Amino acid sequence: MLFNVVNALGELACVFPVQGSFNIYASRFIHPSWGFAMGWNYALQWIVTLPTELSAAVLVIQVCAHPVSVCFHFCLHAS
């Protein structure tokens, strides 16, 4: 199913090149309010996901690392 969705999004990007994200296609082909909701849903999803990923990375560093500061490892890999 993921392959079909990505393939369809690629087809839309080739036929209707627009400047913006995938929610532009929803605004254009479904309804502007649907595209607006998709954009906010995507933003809120990343607001929840990013801190979760960062806390998981800190846990992995604490388990695998020597007694070096977690902030040091995070700053080293983030830059």
Model confidence over 6-58: pLDDT tens digits?
999 899 889 999 888 888 999 999 999 999 999 999 999 999 999 899 888 88
The pLDDT score that the predictor gives to residue 22 is 85
The pLDDT score that the predictor gives to residue 57 is 85
Termini Cα distance of the chain: 35
Q: Confidence class of residue 64 from pLDDT cuts 50, 70 and 90?
A: confident
The pLDDT score that the predictor gives to residue 38 is 93
Tell me which residue has tokens 């992995």.
60
- Higher local confidence (pLDDT), 40 or 60: 40
pTM score over 0.85:
no
